[in-house]
Structure 1
Amino acid sequence: MRYKNLILTISDYYNYGNRLQNYALRVLLDRYGLTTTIYSCIDDLSSERKKIDLLKDIIKRVYSLLFSDSKSLRYQKNRKFRNMSMRFIPDDCFMFSMKRGLISNQHDTFDTLVIGSDQVWNFKWLTKRGVALRLGSFVSNDHSVISYAASFGVSEIDDDVKPIFQKYLPRFKAISVREDRGAELVKEMTGLDATVVLDPTLMLPMNKWLEITENFVPDDDRYILTYFLGRPSDEQERDIQAYAKAHDCHVRRIFDLRDKETYVAGPQDFVELFSKAQYVFTDSYHACCFSILFHKQFTVFNRAGMNGKSNMNSRMETLFRLFDLDSVMIDSGLAPEIDYERVDHLLEENRRKSRNWLDKAMEG
């Protein structure tokens, strides 16, 4: 089979943002032709990793039927991640081998390699060979290479890996990144211009996201939703509880074993939890994205031990700049009410700019 587009991203079956951005990018690219995703385990010894993962999955499934502890709950959640991936973003046609590079399982072919989004260029997670692979080093000149909303995930590039970026970025037909700092890094290293575009999750309308939900949450459930990658301070936790009590809601906690019912949520359930929440407290980038998509009032807490906006990473800074939402990030308390009429206007404007960039990049 010949694919128009091949997505190279991080294959993370445990990360909500990763799975949802991969799905959204696939939907976006399907407008231009048939699209699939590479199974990417580029820093493993071989593609045998996938077979090992399948064996582990069988063992965990048996365990989950026998026990109901934290390991069992993690399995239930991860099973949902894999089911969602297999259904909506299958990655069984192409995979990486460190020894052989890109492998096509059925001798499939593709025209355009699309790298992104997520932190695909975060060199701290990769070997030097891994960095080169994430920049499309395996692609011949017969294929176009572009990046969509790619992220470095860091504010500075170490000197020993700069030459890799300087070698491969100039081969790109078009470069787009997710953060302002990412565009600056491309310019500093290569002199090339990179365009800041919206994260793929923000490019899909609300109704498109609701299509994949599966009634994980009762319609009459009144709850405050929290999703923290760090741990809220005692003061922040008091703010959450105070808001819930004042508005006659309970607290549902994603990624927190204190809330077993919510802990097992898969990516589709993650979307639904945001769609039905009364309010959101978070420190997560993609939690902000889905709060915006579903018009939720939300507060972004600085992570414990970090004070002030100077500690925001570039993806948060860029998101808040694009939507004029600097005031939602605070150390404690409650953020000012968001004007969603203005946010929707900015969202449509930024979607138009991002679509126009992608249309041009996909020409030819």
Structure 2
Amino acid sequence: MKKRVNLAACYFQKNYGSMLQAYALQEAVSSLGYEAENLRIDGIAREIRNKKLGYYARQLADWSVVKEKAGMVRKVWQKKRNKTFACNSQIRNRKFQEFQQSFFKVSPYFASKKAMGEYVKDCQAVIVGSDQLWLPSNITADYYTLNFVPLEVRKAAYATSFGVSNLPKRMHEFVANFLNRIDYVSVREEKGRELVASIAHREVPVVCDPTMLFAKEEWAKLIAPQKIIQDKYIFCYFLGNNFWQREIACKLREKTGYKIVSLLHMDEYVAADEFFPDIAPYDVGPAEFVNLIRNAEYVLTDSFHGTVFSALHGKDFFTFRRFSQKATLSTNSRMDSLFSLLGVPERLLDEHVNVEDMLKMCLDVDRVLARIEKLRRPSWAYIKQAIGD
């Protein structure tokens, strides 16, 4: 009988990157001969949500936080007043649900963290990862901290990201305590390594995002290739509402003659986007998302995982900064770390970019893939060590 490894991951989040990185971590652990099982959190979801709301309530004096979260509120409001958008959102949500039900193995239901803690006592290890699970709001919610896991149970963090460059000083003691309860800690970004060193006084490795553990050929086995759009196209995947990004996409369309395919209203409702793409499909789950990247001529994105899958598939991609460097909720540091890894900082762009200059850039795909492979090998070694035997 296979030994069970439980995963504290956001496999349920209706976000392409979140779901795909959780799937990649599950498949990585399974490939090592373990039974990988994601912990269900629906029984404690209200507790988690209330703690996160409490965190955001304390940030109301920070305009950058209010502005960022207002976009999500507008999206909810728009669903109530716009029947077409509500219907389209349901179509997209069903695709996420189908992927979740088809691709993930999940645990039984738990009514409390105590019950969850009892359940994991007989597993080989509990792994938290990856993505931005140690954002300040998630730390406050106290689930991805693994504090519910008994001390005697092996605990590991794989490529877990803080998402931000700094944490409030009032959180430092709590953060140091939970980090030092975890037997094996690894992070996804250099800034994360610096935070762990300064707060918990631990030297920890930087490993690759779970999605990068698998090469293009391996992803073809995990998610079957399929051509969704027959024409040549520019794939746009924007989570933010920066209008200048859309303008650049339109200029690239003018220069190339390719259609724009875009997934609209992901993190927030952006009214202007209704008139921006040539094709705006909603029946797109994580599998279709990967395939839209696979078959694109160009990819324009402000997304971490949009960038990762573009790089893995050797696409001509350009990534735009989503946040102001001064924004409290800015996650720019993870982009800086990713582009340092990929070795193509010139493809991380701001609003001053010129489309003619973009078209002149040549991507050395082999060099990018070699850099990913260089980090992939020690990342696999870390997972094996962290799980133990």
- What TM-score results when the alignment is normalised by the length of structure 1? 0.83
Partner residue in 1 for 2:197: 187
Question: Which residue, 148, 156, 161 being the options, matches 1:146?
Answer: 156
Amino acid at match of 2:134: W
Residue 84 of structure 1 and its aligned partner are, at CA, apart by 0.6
**Could you tell me how far apart the structure 2 residues matched to 1:225 and 1:287 are?**
10
Q: Paired residue for 1:229, among 225, 239, 246?
A: 239
The reply to whether residue 35 of structure 1 matches residue 50 of structure 2 is: no
Shift of residue 358 of structure 1?
A: 1.9
Does residue 339 (structure 1) correspond to residue 341 (structure 2)? The answer is: no
Judge conservation of contact 1:39–1:96 (CA < 8 Å) in 2. Answer: no
What letter corresponds to residue 150 of structure 2 in structure 1? S
- Cα separation, 1, equivalents of 2:205 and 2:264: 33
As a proportion of its length, which structure holds more strand?
1
Task: Tell me whether 1:175 sits opposite 2:185 in the alignment.
Answer: yes
Equivalent residue for 2:173, pick from 143, 150, 163? 163
- Post-superposition offset of 1:361: 2.0
Contact 2:191 2:333 in 1 (8 A): yes
Assess, with a 3 A threshold, how the Cα gap between structure 1 residues 305 and 317 changes in structure 2: closer, same or farther. Answer: closer
Q: Which amino acid aligns with 2:22?
A: N
Contact 2:12 2:100 in 1 (8 A): no
Partner of 2:90: 75
Shift of 1:233: 2.7
Corresponding residue for residue 129 of structure 2: 116
User: What secondary structure sits across from 2:170 in the alignment?
Assistant: coil
Task: State the distance in 2 between where 1:355 and 1:304 align.
Answer: 32
Is 1:363 matched up with 2:388? Answer: yes
Deviations 1:92-127 (A, max 9, x none): 4354625755475xx994210001101111122453
Q: In the aligned structure 2, how far is the partner of 1:192 from the partner of 1:304?
A: 29
Change in 2 beyond 3 A, CA 1:160/1:100: farther
Asked if the contact 1:97/1:103 (under 8 Å) is kept, the reply is: no
User: Deviation of residue 90 (structure 1)?
Assistant: 2.9
The 3-state SS of whatever aligns with 1:162 is: helix
- Tell me the C-alpha RMSD between the 2 structures: 2.8
The number of residue pairs the alignment matches comes to 336
Gaps of 5+ in 1: 48-66
- Whether the 8 Å contact between 1:7 and 1:35 is mirrored in structure 2 is yes
- 2:46 is aligned with what amino acid? D
Describe the superposition over 1:52-81 as per-residue Cα deviations: whole angstroms up to 9, x where unpaired: xxxxxxxxxxxxxxx971111111111111
Distance in 2 of aligned mates of 1:101 and 1:108: 9
- Given residue 271 of structure 1, which amino acid in structure 2 is its aligned partner? V
Q: CA distance change for structure 1 residues 338 and 46 in 2, over 3 Å: closer, same or farther?
A: closer
Distance 2:9 2:135 in 1: 12
Structure 1 residues 68 and 354: alpha-carbon distance in aligned structure 2, compared to 1, 3 A threshold? same
Who is 1:93 aligned against? 108
More helix by percentage: 2
Amino acid at match of 2:354: G
- Larger RCO, structures 1/2 (Cα 8 Å, 6+ apart): 2
Structure 1 residue matching 2:367: 3-state secondary structure: helix
Are 1:283 and 2:302 counterparts? yes
* Fraction of identical pairs, as percent: 28
TM-score w.r.t. structure 2 length?
0.78
